[in-house]
Every structure is written in C-alpha cells, then in structure tokens.
C-alpha cells in the first residue's frame, strides 16, 4: 500500500460494504441495484474491480475489467482482458492513479497468461480518452463510427489482434423506425438516461421501445455501437451512445431525426 492511497479490490464478499464507485450515495435507486446484481454474476466470470482510495480522504478512481470472452463491449477479444471502465475524478486527477490502475490490469493479464489487454476509447464523452492508453504502450488497431478506437497492449506481437465488427449500419437498421433505447444493467446511470429518452419520445409522438441486452454474447452480436452498454437508435441510425441531458437530447434529435423534423 502507498503512503498516500490504498487500492481496494471489490469482490462478491465485500461489494455491499465497499460499493462500486458509481452512485455510492444512491444505493436505493434502481440503477444501483441493477449494477449490484450485474456485478454478482460477473465476478464469477472473472471480472475485477479495483478502486483508489486516498488515505484520510475519499475514493477517487477505479478500473473495471473482464476476460474478453465475457466483455460487455462489441469487441472480438478472446484470450485478452478487456477494460470496461477507467475513471479518475476531482482532486484525484494528475497523481498517476490512472497509470497505476492500468498497470494493475496489465500485471493481472500477464499473471493469467493472456495475450494482453484491450479497451475501447473515444474522442468524445462518457468513456476514457485514448491518450492515457497510448501513453502507456497501447496501440490503436481499429476504429468505428462515430468516434471509437480499439486499443490493445499485446505481450507478444504474434498474438492475434482483437477486432471490431464491421456491420454497424446493418446492426442499427435492425431496430427499425422510431426510437429504440438499447441498454444493459452494467452502468447505473442508464436508468435515468433511458427515462429521459422515453419521455422525450412520448412528447414528440415518436414510437419507442427499450431493448435490454441480458448477456455479453447478446450485446456482442447485436449492439449498434462498440460501447454497447447504452445507446439510442432513431429510425435505424445511431443517435447517441451516451447519456444525454434533456437539452442535449432535444438538440441532437432535432438535427438528425426525421420523425422529429416532421413535427418541428
């Protein structure tokens, strides 16, 4: 343990005590409970969750990763570990915590005999930027619209590369006309994000539905974006992969949604 921080490993035995960083003050909400139940099943599949807690202070960051075969991302990455989330907040930034968490994952992958570590990054919001991974030896090996990058750290250059699917337009088109919210229980924030989208659709008179992926395999086969955990498809096109506030949703939808253009 460092003199300034400790790393807390969350597992099935202590998750109710430690929480999982997100929504720590909202443990009675549906989003928190869904994430808690989701984690209980994922720990058995090899998911790891490590949190940085500053001594005498608060928890300021975490990393969540899982074997690629069980990844809740639309990525083909067998025999790799895949980082779902890397997040450092507030006064925790600029202290090397992100690097420490990444190195923890790399060390674990070596210990497990994996090919390496994979993650999905973006140049926009809601996910980690690619710069921190590139700085620590990851390589950008594939891209997907609108802004996703597949980053990999391989221990052996002969190991097969992970890959994105290539049929994004077909995946989006399958959801048809109207507004479809794609969601999973992985992120506690998607409960509010779903409600905002459905309320907006109702006000605009747009037919809407919710599709909840129940397994990593279902997500990998059907997600309209590499992120997979959340997304909104409008008339067969990806409107957003991330949480939108009401004002943001209104602006985005007005610009891109034919249903909405007809009513404005």
Indicate the fold that domain 168-263 takes in CATH: Glutaredoxin (3.40.30)
| Residue with the two structure tokens 């003050």 | 25
Q: In whole angstroms, how far apart are CA 47 and each of 4, 5, 40? A: 26, 23, 10
Consecutive sets of 10 residues in the chain, 264 residues long: mean pLDDT of each?
85 93 83 93 97 93 97 98 95 93 98 98 84 96 94 97 97 96 93 91 93 97 95 93 71 47 35
Domain ranges in the chain are: 5-154, 168-263
d(CA 241, CA 146): 9
pTM over 0.85: yes
Does the structural domain 5-154 have CATH classification 3.20.20.60? no
d(CA 164, CA 167): 9
Partners of residue 122 on adjacent β-strands: 148
Decide: helix, strand or coil at residue 230. strand
Q: Evaluate whether 5-154 and 168-263 have a shared fold.
A: no
Q: Which of 119, 109, 101 is nearest to 10 (CA)?
A: 101
């Amino acid at each position: 343990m460092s003199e300034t921080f400790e790393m807390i490993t969350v597992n099935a035995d202590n998750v109710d005590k430690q929480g999982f960083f997100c929504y720590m003050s909202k443990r009675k909400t549906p989003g928190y409970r869904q994430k808690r139940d989701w984690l209980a099943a994922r720990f058995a599949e090899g998911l790891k969750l490590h949190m940085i807690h500053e001594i005498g202070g608060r928890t300021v960051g975490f990393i969540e990763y899982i074997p690629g075969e069980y990844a809740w991302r639309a990525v083909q990455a067998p025999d790799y570990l895949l980082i779902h989330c890397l997040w450092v907040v507030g006064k925790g930034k600029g202290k090397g915590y992100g690097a420490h968490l990444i190195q923890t994952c790399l060390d674990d992958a070596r210990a497990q005999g994996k090919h390496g570590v994979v993650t999905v990054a973006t140049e926009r919001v809601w996910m980690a930027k690619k710069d921190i991974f590139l700085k620590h030896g990851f390589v950008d090996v594939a891209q997907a619209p609108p802004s996703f990058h597949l980053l990999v750290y391989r221990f052996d250059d002969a190991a097969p590369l992970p890959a994105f699917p290539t049929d994004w337009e077909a995946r989006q088109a399958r959801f048809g006309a109207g507004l479809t919210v794609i969601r999973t229980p992985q992120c506690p924030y998607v409960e509010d994000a779903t409600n905002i989208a459905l309320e907006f659709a109702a006000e605009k008179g747009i037919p809407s539905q919710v599709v909840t992926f129940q397994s990593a395999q279902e997500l990998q086969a059907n997600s309209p974006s590499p992120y997979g955990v959340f997304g909104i498809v409008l008339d067969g096109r990806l409107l957003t992969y991330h949480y939108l506030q009401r004002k943001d949703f209104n602006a985005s939808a007005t610009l891109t949604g034919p249903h909405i253009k007809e009513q404005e």
